[in-house]
Amino acid sequence: MFKLENVSKIFKVGTFGGKELIAVDNINFSIDDGEIIALIGESGSGKTTIGKMILRLIDVSSGKIIFKGKDISRYKNDKLKQYYRRVQGVFQDPFSSINPIFKADRIFESVREEFISGISKIEWNKKVENTLLRVGLNPEHILNKYPHQLSGGQLQRFLIARALLLNIEFLIADEVISMLDASTRIDVLNLLGKLRESGLSILFITHDLSLGYYISDRSVILYKGRIAEMGATQKIYHHPMHPYTKMLLASVPQINQEWDRDVILVEDGGQWNEGGCVYFDRCMNPEKDQQCEYQPPELIEVEPGHFVSCWHI
Amino acid sequence: MSLSVENLTVYYQTLQGQVKALEDASFTLADGEIMGLAGESGCGKTTLGFSLIYLTDQMRYIKGKVRLNGKVVPIWDNRKMDKFRYQDISIIPQYAMSAMNPTKKIGKMVKDLVQSRGLDYSEIEQEFIRRVRLVKLSEDILKMYPIELSGGMKQRMVMVISTLLNPELLIADEITSALDVSTQKAIAEMLVDFRNRKFLNSMIVITHDISILYQIADSIMVMYAGQLSEKGPRDAIINSPKHPYTKLLISSLPKIGIKYQEEKLTGIPGKPPLLLKPPVGCRFRDRCPLSYSKCKEVPPFVEVEKGHFVGCWKAVEENV
Amino acid sequence: MTSKGNVKSEVLFFAFRNWKVLVGSCVILIFLLLAIIGPSLTENEPLGFVYPLGSSEPSSEFWLGTTMFGQDVFSQFTNGLRATFYVGVLGGGIGTIIGLLVGFISGYRGGIVDEVLNIFTNIILVIPGFAVLLIIAAYLEVRSLTTESIFIGLTEWAWVARAVRAQTFSLKSREFVDLAKLNGMKPWKIIFREIAPNMLSYLVMTFILQFGGAILKAATLDFIGLGPTEGISLGMMMQQAVNWGALQLGDWWWFIPPGLAIMMIVGGLYMMNIGLDEVFNPKLREM
């Protein structure tokens, strides 16, 4: 369904755009129909930038984003609007995603105005009701309310419903549950799983490994704008090969699994080696060498579907 | 016994009335105990943490007694509390690391802080530098501005500064939430290390992330809508919780090893009550699968096993 | 949050309880009323010579007395009020609108458009607007009230543009703007449907300040003799009063009413503004 080819994003920073910040560096991966891919990374990994590029909220600096055979990375205006009938997004902060001074329903109205203007009122109301039920919300309790009268979990489902009104084929979920309470997170997560079962593909962007494990079929581990490791979720989590993936799995707090107190990890000091492997400064692989320092490793398929970018595995 | 809290009740004054944020909290902390305080947003954990050290303008002390090593702590009087703050009770508030004055060098900030407490900086300087080295930072950091430090470095500095005078009780409010995963581990382990080296006596770690608590806490206390649900040793709370809320909460946490297709986790339907006019009795009863008529009375927080307290009629019944 | 549920009604609730807003708006309303119905309360033309004996104190025939030339001060006063409100609305309005447009475009587009507009705005900001007005006014031989208002508006918009640009910048990165883009909405629609409503409180307060500022500028111009070449305004009344020795002669009814009126109108506007700031910003409200 989606294929990202050599996608990069370079930001100009500093006064008069003197310096360059490479947020995403030559990313290549694909997303199939009916699967949930977890895009996993910490701050600075580029995961949100990739999501926004796929949604065309940010321009691609170079490379192609191919959706069902067509390169959408430079779409504008009408073509872009058609694209939005099939691809939508939901973001992290439900209270920031809805204009607080209007009623929450207004976001549905906007969708109707822009995309489905010909529809009759009765048909529309029915469509809204059905979609709300589909995401597990009770129309009576939800309609005609202001955002601050609803909870974060309800609003996120509201926002997912908005995307579903368009019969989309692909949804980008960017940290959609990180601001929700623990007891409502799982409901939204389960909803995403249910939607996948009905054919929707989802790009699930998160920093939380356990969520990725729970819901995704494949995972892409990002570090400083490059792919460290990629493949079937279970394979990666149980047999990680990239030093960064291993470090992530060792430092994530898990219930009923105590940390190895002897393992001391190198923390992110903010600098990174741009000439070679981006993980060089923090890498604890005993075989780390000059090649790592000066040559950026390529993404190699070590077993079917499992890719790693490291010189020494 | 290090800390003892009895019937602590604190409300917030708002234009529409009083928000009953913390109701009748009673618990104890032993010497050297690290207690994790967990709960969802609005449960009152930050209120509890703050009421032990500083009442903000909107907070109203209603009733309750707090004792530190047997001595009564006058939490209702902000001025009398000045004596206790920083020396006996210290806090690392949420966002502490972004609250540092950007125009002061770190060293100057610490000096000013210490001197404002009426102490002589030169007496403490040596110990301070020793501790800075202990957390793997160099002395040079004192000459830097906050903006030059990474998140992890700032959080470490905040920890050293808050515990400089070896407080009896440290309250840490969401200190790992904004950090990267590897830094989180380092900071959390450092907290335990500080306790082991006796830089502080007992600690309350406030967070919504129970898995971090599993790693560092001796005991865990769970709160819901201003009431205490359960408190007990770490393993008991995680593996054999007795309160329905705790049970539902723990079972809704995704862990590596659980896949949606194999085992669907469930959340807790509904949402927490508004605390302006909270329901009478147990505030969880509207969402609780086990609630019955008795729940309209506030359940007492009783010890059902050694060191394990529950505030639930059903749980107490089942244990008798 | 409030059980009334609605931001609009919450704002109105507080607005009507804030004494600054109430007092300020009452003052304005009174003067506005005077401006609207005042001129029809007397048959005398403001510049007509109706009293052959020159100046006279307020009496039952001439409520505010007469000028040195025998003109009806009350007629001048109420007509002058009309002129004052006219300048406020037109001049303030033009300043606000230009500032909004420049600010929105600059803040939303960013990039080179923003840089160019920003430089332009900063230049206007730095040039002493009043000096420009003086020069323009001095050059024009015939000046109407409308021309005066337009020029005042053209020199007043820069600080509005700056502030609107800053707010647009910060609102533009909020997620509801992203969602609007995902609806395929055109930029202008996004600005006016999503961004501007969030700044409504600021826009209201800005217009009030522009209104007051325009009145003051006009009054000052008029006072030094560079006002409209026809008609009457409060500033012109004061100018004539001073020029013809009203101060020395003690004809207080000629120069005090216009001066007092301007002070009270502008003061009332500013008081409303301070009150509105408290209304819109919950943190400033007294508990």
Tell me the domain boundaries of chain A.
Answer: 33-43+74-86+168-308
- C2–B13 CB contact, under 8 Å: no
Question: Whole-number mean pLDDT of chain B?
Answer: 89
Q: State how far the Cα of C247 lies from the Cα of C75, in Å rounded to an integer.
A: 20
Terminal Cα distance for chain C, rounded: 15
Going by pLDDT thresholds of 50, 70 and 90, the confidence category of residue A83 is very high
Q: Crossing angle of helices C73-109/C158-172, nearest 10°?
A: 40
Kindly state the percentage of chain C with pLDDT values over 70. Answer: 94
Q: How far is C273 from chain B (nearest CA, A)?
A: 23
Q: State how far the Cα of A263 lies from the Cα of C93, in Å rounded to an integer.
A: 67
Handedness of CA C271, C275, C281, C283 (dihedral sign): positive
- B15–C3 CB contact, under 8 Å: no
Q: State how far the Cα of C52 lies from the Cα of C66, in Å rounded to an integer.
A: 10
- Which domains, from first to last, does chain C contain? 7-53+62-284 (1.10.3720.10)
Residue tagged 């996608």 (tokens): A7
B146 DSSP assignment:
G
Q: State how far the Cα of C208 lies from the Cα of C214, in Å rounded to an integer.
A: 10
Output the pLDDT for position C54. 78
Neighbours of A198 (CB within 10 A): 9
Q: State how far the Cα of C241 lies from the Cα of C235, in Å rounded to an integer.
A: 10
Antiparallel, parallel or unpaired: β A170-174 and A70-71: unpaired
Rounded to two decimals, the ipTM of the complex is 0.85
In chain B, which ranges are continuous DSSP H helix? 45-51, 78-81, 106-116, 121-134, 151-162, 181-196, 210-216, 234-239, 244-251, 313-319
Whether B118 contacts chain A with CB within 8 A: no
- C181–A97 CB contact, under 8 Å: no
Please give the class, per CATH, of domain A33-43+74-86+168-308. alpha beta
Q: How far is C122 from chain A (nearest CA, A)?
A: 17
Does A16 score more than 80 pLDDT? no
Return the SS3 of B63.
strand
B97 DSSP assignment:
G
Query: Could you report the per-residue pLDDT of A281-307, keeping only the tens digit for each?
Result: 888 888 888 888 888 888 888 888 899
Per-residue burial over B141-165, b if 16 or more Cβ lie within 10 Å, else e, is: bbeeebeebbbbbbbbbbbbbbbbb
From chain C, pick out residues whose CB is under 8 angstroms from the CB of A111: 183
With contact defined as beta carbons under 8 Å apart, do A179 and A150 qualify? no
Neighbours of A139 (CB within 10 A): 14
Q: To 5 degrees, how large is the angle CA C129–CA C135–CA C137?
A: 100
Does B73 score more than 60 pLDDT? yes
CA distances from A202 to A38, A139, B216, B318 (A): 8, 25, 35, 44
Antiparallel, parallel or unpaired: β A306-308 and A300-303: antiparallel
Query: Could you report the per-residue pLDDT of A180-208, keeping only the tens digit for each?
Result: 888 888 889 999 999 998 889 999 999 88
Return the SS3 of C160.
helix
Query: Could you report the per-residue pLDDT of B138-169, keeping only the tens digit for each?
Result: 888 888 888 888 888 888 888 998 898 899 99
Does C5 score more than 50 pLDDT? no
Return the SS3 of C185.
coil
Q: How far is C287 from chain B (nearest CA, A)?
A: 7
Query: Could you report the per-residue pLDDT of B226-269, keeping only the tens digit for each?
Result: 999 999 999 999 999 999 999 999 988 888 888 888 888 888 88
Instruction: Give me the DSSP letters along C55-82.
Output: -B---SSSTT-B-TT--BHHHHHHHHHH
Query: Could you report the per-residue pLDDT of C85-106, keeping only the tens digit for each?
Result: 999 999 999 999 999 999 999 9
B85 DSSP assignment:
B
From chain B, pick out residues whose CB is under 8 angstroms from the CB of A269: 150
With contact defined as beta carbons under 8 Å apart, do B160 and B127 qualify? no
Going by pLDDT thresholds of 50, 70 and 90, the confidence category of residue A15 is low
Instruction: Give me the DSSP letters along C229-252.
Output: SSS--HHHHHHHHHHTTHHHHT-H
In chain C, which ranges are continuous DSSP H helix? 7-15, 19-37, 73-109, 111-126, 129-139, 145-156, 158-172, 175-182, 187-190, 196-198, 200-223, 234-243, 246-249, 252-280
From chain B, pick out residues whose CB is under 8 angstroms from the CB of C285: 15
Whether B257 contacts chain A with CB within 8 A: yes
From chain B, pick out residues whose CB is under 8 angstroms from the CB of C2: 16
Output the pLDDT for position C6. 56
CA distances from C280 to B14, B45, C213, C274, C276 (A): 17, 31, 22, 10, 6
Phi, psi of A189 (to 5 degrees): -65, -45
- A89–C178 CB contact, under 8 Å: yes
Going by pLDDT thresholds of 50, 70 and 90, the confidence category of residue A272 is low
pTM for the model stands at 0.83
Q: Find, in chain B, the residue whose alpha carbon is nearest to that of C3.
A: B16
Q: State how far the Cα of A94 lies from the Cα of B251, in Å rounded to an integer.
A: 25
